[in-house]
């Protein structure tokens, strides 16, 4: 634990002051060629993004493996797991993940400003806030069946989904600890540890899934229970690394300072949560709307397969979301507005190139997309029809999460929450409803309306805001922000 004197000295450091070697290095960097600058920034970005892609794909693969096991049990079982994961867990996941993203702003800027001990305090505050939120969200799991029936799902599907959801409560509470731990480590570039722990959790998940489904024959409940094991492996693995010497500068033990300023922290976390969960819930609404169509079971199965593939690929833009958020926050915290702007440009361009690659891949292999999850000819045909919309969704999502990461790194969460609300729910959802039912285009109409009405509009607005941003002014704001939060006792 840093002494009181050392903390006071650290707090008095002017955040815009830079020692001679650092200032000289920045001047030298500005004189370098554009190609050299891009290479340097790309190395910094990929130091975060590379391990983050692996860890996110590994974590998401646990959900994919669970759905794949359920899909080979039957169409109803696949639909039940899909509804539970995409709607119940997805609703919860989006809110808690968003609330934890407040740490990307706070920890990232504090790390850039060299106020290292505050990262551990911020994480402990996030644990308290997210755990309390988990308790408040428990009825979502315990009353999942009547909730789904109220939303128009068929009785047999709602009942089985409710049973599955009740077994996922331990998974629900793991989010309160895993998300803050991940952002705490990302903000200080400890991404390799996250990747290794994610690999361990994935291996545990595969082994437990095989044991529960094929050996013990526990059916759809067995497939759900496996998620509890693997996600708690993530929690204990990351916590062990943090506590037992992995973060000597930023983890100084449990502190009573974590109990101070909780209301201010709740407000920032709520703004972050609303911003990201409005994005995350958007495609959950798509699944729910599809569940009210004719032949809903087949439609939900096909759409869920496409959403799973989209979510799998989305781990790459989400890794860029994390990477650019950390890079922007670090640069702003250090008072370097130009560095934050350049990091944004490099991240967006790199993610777009990757998005185009996957767009081409899906257009070429659209006939084979559904084979991982189902052997039903009807479902496979429906997936094939939806593949073109999947390709364009992936292309748009190669830009949108990266711009959202810039917003998180800059602390714009409350503004972006309003943008998301307007674009997604006042434009996208009504357009999807209109094309799906009024024009009788079914699931393709719903999805197309939500992509081109909501996602495209939101991406355009975020792009305009980012282009017009005064980065030097944002750097000054970040420095004042870091001082304000470090003074809360």
Cα–Cα distance measured from residue 280 to residue 297, given in angstroms and rounded to the nearest whole number: 22
In the predicted structure, residue 60 carries a pLDDT above the cut 90 = no
The confidence score (pLDDT) of residue 66 equals 82
In the predicted structure, residue 64 carries a pLDDT above the cut 90 = no
In the predicted structure, residue 194 carries a pLDDT above the cut 70 = yes
The confidence score (pLDDT) of residue 200 equals 93
Tokens of 339: 């560095």
In the predicted structure, residue 294 carries a pLDDT above the cut 70 = no
Confidence grade of residue 94 (pLDDT, cut at 50, 70, 90): confident
In 3D space, the residue among 417, 407, 414 whose CA is nearest the CA of residue 105 turns out to be: 407
Domain boundaries, given as residue ranges, for the chain = 35-486
Cα–Cα distance measured from residue 50 to residue 58, given in angstroms and rounded to the nearest whole number: 13
Q: In residues, how long is the chain?
A: 489
Tell me how crowded residue 430 is: count the other CB atoms within 10 A of its CB: 14
Residue whose pair of structure tokens reads 């674009």 in the numeric block: 423
Q: How far is CA 412 from CA 67, 326, 476, in A?
A: 35, 14, 14
Average pLDDT over residues 310-320: 83
Tell me how crowded residue 135 is: count the other CB atoms within 10 A of its CB: 10
Residues 65, 205: contact at Cβ < 8 Å?
yes
The confidence score (pLDDT) of residue 309 equals 83
Specify the range with the lowest mean pLDDT, choosing from 275-289, 317-331, 376-390, 442-456: 275-289
In the predicted structure, residue 275 carries a pLDDT above the cut 60 = yes
Cα–Cα distance measured from residue 411 to residue 407, given in angstroms and rounded to the nearest whole number: 6
Q: How far is CA 197 from CA 55, 229, 242, 397, in A?
A: 8, 13, 12, 27
Cα–Cα distance measured from residue 80 to residue 62, given in angstroms and rounded to the nearest whole number: 16
Cα–Cα distance measured from residue 317 to residue 350, given in angstroms and rounded to the nearest whole number: 10
- How far is C-alpha 430 from the geometric centre of its chain's CA atoms? 25
Confidence grade of residue 243 (pLDDT, cut at 50, 70, 90): very high
Average pLDDT over residues 77-83: 78
Cα–Cα distance measured from residue 147 to residue 246, given in angstroms and rounded to the nearest whole number: 43
In the predicted structure, residue 365 carries a pLDDT above the cut 50 = yes
Looking at residue 202, the DSSP 8-state letter turns out to be H
Residue whose pair of structure tokens reads 């340097």 in the numeric block: 40
Cα–Cα distance measured from residue 22 to residue 209, given in angstroms and rounded to the nearest whole number: 51
In the predicted structure, residue 251 carries a pLDDT above the cut 50 = yes
Mean pLDDT of the chain: 81
The confidence score (pLDDT) of residue 241 equals 95
pLDDT digits (tens, 9 = 90+) for 95-154: 888 788 888 888 888 888 888 888 888 899 989 999 999 999 999 888 888 888 887 777
The confidence score (pLDDT) of residue 25 equals 44
The confidence score (pLDDT) of residue 264 equals 76
3-state helix, strand, coil in the chain (%, to 5): 85, 0, 15
Residues 94, 103: contact at Cβ < 8 Å?
no
pLDDT digits (tens, 9 = 90+) for 195-232: 999 999 999 998 988 888 778 877 788 888 888 889 99
Confidence grade of residue 410 (pLDDT, cut at 50, 70, 90): confident
């Amino acid at each position: 634990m840093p002494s009181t004197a050392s903390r006071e000295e650290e707090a008095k450091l002017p955040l815009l002051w830079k020692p001679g070697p650092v200032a000289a290095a920045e001047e030298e960097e500005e004189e370098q060629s554009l190609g050299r600058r891009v290479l340097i920034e790309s190395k910094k970005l990929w130091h975060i993004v590379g391990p983050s892609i692996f860890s996110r794909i590994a974590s998401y693969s646990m959900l994919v493996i669970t759905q794949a096991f359920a899909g080979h049990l039957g169409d109803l079982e696949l639909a039940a797991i899909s509804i539970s994961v995409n709607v119940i867990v997805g609703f919860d996941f989006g809110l808690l993940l968003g609330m934890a993203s407040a740490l990307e702003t706070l920890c990232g800027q504090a790390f850039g400003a060299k106020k290292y001990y505050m990262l551990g305090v911020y994480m402990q505050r996030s644990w308290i806030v997210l755990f309390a939120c988990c308790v408040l969200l428990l009825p979502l799991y315990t009353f999942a069946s009547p909730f789904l029936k109220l939303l128009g799902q068929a009785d047999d599907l709602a009942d089985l989904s409710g049973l599955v959801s009740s077994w996922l409560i331990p998974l629900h509470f793991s989010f309160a600890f895993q998300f803050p731990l991940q952002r705490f480590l990302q903000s200080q570039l400890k991404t390799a540890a996250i990747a290794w722990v994610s690999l361990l959790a994935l291996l545990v998940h595969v082994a437990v899934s095989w044991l529960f489904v094929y050996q013990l024959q526990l059916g759809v409940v067995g497939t759900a229970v496996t998620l509890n094991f693997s996600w708690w492996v993530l929690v204990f693995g990351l916590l062990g690394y943090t506590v037992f010497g992995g973060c000597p500068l930023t983890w100084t033990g449990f502190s009573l300072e974590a109990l101070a300023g909780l209301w201010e922290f709740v407000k920032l976390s709520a703004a972050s949560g609303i911003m990201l969960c409005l994005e995350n819930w958007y495609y959950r609404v798509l699944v729910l709307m599809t569940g009210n169509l004719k032949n809903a079971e087949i439609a939900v199965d096909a759409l869920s397969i496409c959403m799973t593939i989209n979510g799998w690929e989305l781990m790459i833009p989400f890794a860029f979301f994390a990477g650019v958020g950390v890079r922007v926050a670090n640069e702003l915290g250090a008072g370097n507005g130009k560095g934050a702007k350049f990091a944004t440009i490099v991240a967006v361009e790199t993610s777009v190139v990757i998005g185009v690659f996957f767009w081409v891949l899906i257009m070429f292999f659209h006939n084979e997309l559904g084979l991982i999850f189902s052997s039903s000819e009807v479902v496979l045909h429906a997936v094939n029809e939806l593949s073109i919309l999947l390709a364009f969704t992936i292309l748009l999502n190669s830009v949108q999460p990266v711009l959202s990461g810039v917003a998180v790194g800059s602390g714009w969460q409350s503004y972006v929450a309003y943008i998301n609300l307007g674009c997604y729910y006042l434009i996208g959802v009504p357009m999807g409803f209109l094309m799906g039912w009024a024009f009788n285009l079914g699931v393709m109409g719903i999805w197309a309306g939500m992509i081109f009405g909501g996602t495209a509009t939101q991406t355009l607005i975020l792009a305009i805001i980012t282009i017009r941003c005064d980065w030097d002014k944002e750097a000054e704001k970040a420095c004042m922000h870091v001082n304000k939060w470090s003074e809360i006792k």
